Structure 1
Amino acid sequence: MGIVSTAERIDARTDPAEPVETGLLTVDLGALAGNWRKLASRAPGAECGAVVKADGYGLGQAAVMRALARAGCETFFVANLLEGETARALAPHADVYVFDGVAPGCGPRLAAAGLRPCIGSAAELAEWTALGAALGRRLEAAIHFDTGMNRLGFAPADASAVAEAAVGIEPTLIMSHFLSAQLPDAPVNARQIADFLAARAHFPGVAASMAASSGVFLPQRPHFDLLRPGYALYGGNPTPGAENPMTPVVSLSARIISLRALGVGETVGYDGVWAATRPTRAATIGAGYADGLPISATAAPGKAAGEAVVGGRRCAFIGRVSMDYIVLDVTEAPEARRGDWVELLGATIDIEELAGRARTIGYEVLTRLGRRYARRYVGG
């Protein structure tokens, strides 16, 4: 294994103002707010909420919620009680819905925080009703109908019985969730809408919601009273197969911490899954799967790898993505130096491309972004 020159090893190109972390996640809050406004404009007769679960899809729940609230968002959706309590502290007057519903043992804290569970079972409905009776008031909640996901929710056929049983609570929303909204021609979309309309008829005067990010763009325009986008807010493409209508929100850079020369036949990383077929200049960056970069982006014979942009040139991952490091082939980027920042997500490589190269989805890429990065918020 070769050693680079002394001059190259000591040229760190560092700036005292730069973060000491070897990864930098930049979040454009202005772009986030702009995406929310763009989605809202597609349904002028409906309210546009925001899904901020999973720490604001990995970008920081506090910063995300504050930016969206400033833009005018008044309704937020989270996954669980703890996320809901955080949302309530950040937005004291907002409506906050909890997808988990009334999880066992969570009822009193949900009520204390003024959260609205998305109730989808008889047991949850009975528990929420009983808690309201003990507190001397009808507690607010969404009623969730399962029109095809088979995860959470009442059967639409039971809507009449659910409406009768819900007299002890205050339903504020009737909701369901598409299973194939990313496929605008999928026949199941129309069936789900029909089932949802039938269930909704038993709750006159109660707001309805069905469209998450991709649902906003369906030709049937199932916007109803409230949109609840998530992925699209953060720059993900809600219309796969077509141009992304959303503005990028996140960029990710990592620093080169080591450079070396490899001879023909030398391997890189665990298990030697990649071997040099030519004299190769290799750069190690300080980010890996512990930072949310999928191990499935590993390079191997016959398998496309992840890429980074180094000095304006695309450079492939070589060897296995490890916990803390990724090695790049920078042979075609001779200007690369120790201390340089390289792009993993940004103007050249978007969320969808990184996900595709790793054989995963952009949702996973976003929500797994690690906590070890320095975080920089701009535009808000």
Structure 2
Amino acid sequence: MTNNGQFRGATLTVDLRAVRANYRLLRSRLGAAALCAGVVKADAYGLGASYVALALFAEGCRHFFVAHLDEGLALRPYLPRSADIFILNGLPRGAEQECVMAGLVPVLNSLEQAEAWFDCAQRLARTLPTVVQVDSGMNRLGLMPDDTATCAKNYSRAGVFDLRFVMSHLACADTPAHEANAMQLAAFRQLAALFPDVPRSLANSSGIFLGRDYHFNLARPGAALYGVNPGPAAVNPMRPVVRLTARVIQLREVSPGDRVGYGLDYSAPTASRLATLSIGYADGLHRLWGTHGAVFFESKRLPVAGRVSMDSIVVDASSVAPGCIGPDSEVEVIGEHQPVDDLACAAGTIGYEVLTALGHRYRRIYLGADESVPSVVLEDTLS
């Protein structure tokens, strides 16, 4: 017997139609000169990589980025071979042949990775698809300038790498006036010139909005696809993708001075009606959110009262008329009245962390999932 999740404490609704609309908007900002990829690492930022990838594929996306080889192996069965899946962190040594067999493309970040991929190509007597990442100033991943020159000389010109892209990553793209953007752009151009005629990729979600100079041949949006604001200082141009609601477990009346939750560090300022919700930090709500957090019920803001527990939180529902809210009522945690960026701000974090922390206990609903299947099935049939 299955219950389809109707007995779970909270419901996460993912609007794949909004994901597709966001992809179209980002692609339109790029114009005809650059392709638009889809970053679906971390299970598509917690929203379900198989669902999101199919939706993006149906919208015309053919370039997908994940972080780890295991993510690529898990995603591969859902996408036709005409879709490229790139592994941002490169490959662990010894995993090269498995990557080849699965039709995945590593992003080489070091000379050690380049050497191992080169050796694999020679063993198989094949030309292998490859992306080279150079470090343009973020000091996180990618070949340093001297290693970039060595890679260009010793590996990329040896005829065994099918170099798809040379790429780098922007550190401060969400702050358009930051001087690091121009510095990284200049450094990237200099390093990419060591790979003549190889397509280039630099822009992430926020980088797309920095302008044409940053677009090159391929942009790699991630968070913006899922509704996170790519420019925190500006109005969010992206459509919201996520709606999260939680179920009320019970109500209670408390007197002034009554204390609530772990540590009893919340004291009711007046006689209050409290609602306990079936959602907590095991579901991805950061404990710090309890300090300034709130949920919404019929447009009314219900502030969190006390600490976030593992499986529950308490909110002050005094502003709701008696009898209008009760056990099994649903309140909005993320949605129309509280976008993901607003919830993140209340928790002192960013939308990326909120999305990727979403747990696996939710009942999940995917709007528009059926609209993402036909083109994939058709392509598989014709190939």
Q: TM-score, structure 1 length as denominator?
A: 0.92
Asked if 1:196 corresponds to 2:183, the answer is no
Asked if 1:30 corresponds to 2:7, the answer is no
Task: Give the aligned partner of residue 251 of structure 2.
Answer: 259
Task: Give the aligned partner of residue 345 of structure 1.
Answer: 334
Give 1:43's aligned amino acid: L
What CA deviation, in whole Å up to 9, does each residue of 1:100-158 have, x standing for no partner?
A: 11223322211111111110111111100001111111221100001112111111344
Task: Give the aligned partner of residue 41 of structure 1.
Answer: 28
How far residue 220 of structure 1 moved from its aligned partner, in angstroms, is: 5.5
How far residue 219 of structure 1 moved from its aligned partner, in angstroms, is: 3.7
Quickly say closer, same or farther: Cα 1:52–1:18, change in 2 above 3 A.
closer
Measured in 1, the distance between the counterparts of 2:290 and 2:15 equals 29
Give 1:59's aligned amino acid: L
**SS of match in other structure, 1:255:** strand
Given candidates 222, 232, 246, the residue that maps to 2:224 is: 232
Alignment of structure 1 residues 280-319 onto 2, 5 Å: 280-299=272-291, 305-319=292-306
> What percent of counterpart residues are identical?
42
Is the deviation greater in 243-252 or in 131-140?
A: 131-140
Structure 2 portions without partners, runs of 5+: 370-383
Task: Give the aligned partner of residue 51 of structure 2.
Answer: 63
Given candidates 191, 194, 197, the residue that maps to 1:205 is: 197
Task: Give the aligned partner of residue 146 of structure 1.
Answer: 135
Task: Give the aligned partner of residue 88 of structure 1.
Answer: 76
How far residue 320 of structure 1 moved from its aligned partner, in angstroms, is: 0.4
Measured in 2, the distance between the counterparts of 1:220 and 1:33 equals 22
Asked if 1:101 corresponds to 2:90, the answer is yes
Measured in 1, the distance between the counterparts of 2:54 and 2:93 equals 30
Structure 1 portions without partners, runs of 5+: 1-15, 300-304
Q: Is the 8 A contact 2:88 2:107 kept in 1?
A: yes
Measured in 2, the distance between the counterparts of 1:18 and 1:61 equals 20
Alignment of structure 1 residues 156-195 onto 2, 5 Å: 156-166=145-155, 167=158, 168-195=160-187
Which 4+ residue blocks in structure 1 deviate beyond 6 angstroms?
Answer: none
Task: Give the aligned partner of residue 374 of structure 2.
Answer: none
How far residue 162 of structure 1 moved from its aligned partner, in angstroms, is: 1.5
Q: TM-score, structure 2 length as denominator?
A: 0.91
Q: Is the 8 A contact 2:93 2:116 kept in 1?
A: no
Quickly say closer, same or farther: Cα 1:105–1:275, change in 2 above 3 A.
farther
Give 1:67's aligned amino acid: A
Asked if 1:371 corresponds to 2:360, the answer is yes
What CA deviation, in whole Å up to 9, does each residue of 1:290-329 have, x standing for no partner?
A: 0011111123xxxxx2110013200000100010001000
Given candidates 79, 86, 102, the residue that maps to 2:67 is: 79
Is the deviation greater in 151-160 or in 212-221?
A: 151-160
Given candidates 84, 105, 124, the residue that maps to 1:135 is: 124
Task: Give the aligned partner of residue 378 of structure 2.
Answer: none
Measured in 2, the distance between the counterparts of 1:188 and 1:311 equals 44
Q: Is the 8 A contact 2:111 2:147 kept in 1?
A: no
Q: Is the 8 A contact 1:311 1:336 kept in 2?
A: no
Q: Is the 8 A contact 1:129 1:138 kept in 2?
A: no
Q: Is the 8 A contact 2:41 2:71 kept in 1?
A: yes
Task: Give the aligned partner of residue 377 of structure 2.
Answer: none
Measured in 1, the distance between the counterparts of 2:211 and 2:23 equals 20
Measured in 2, the distance between the counterparts of 1:53 and 1:18 equals 25
Task: Give the aligned partner of residue 277 of structure 1.
Answer: 269
CA RMSD of aligned residues (A): 1.4
Give 2:60's aligned amino acid: G
Measured in 2, the distance between the counterparts of 1:332 and 1:159 equals 61
Measured in 2, the distance between the counterparts of 1:242 and 1:66 equals 30
Measured in 1, the distance between the counterparts of 2:211 and 2:28 equals 15
Task: Give the aligned partner of residue 380 of structure 2.
Answer: none
Task: Give the aligned partner of residue 358 of structure 1.
Answer: 347
Give 1:65's aligned amino acid: A
Measured in 2, the distance between the counterparts of 1:261 and 1:221 equals 60
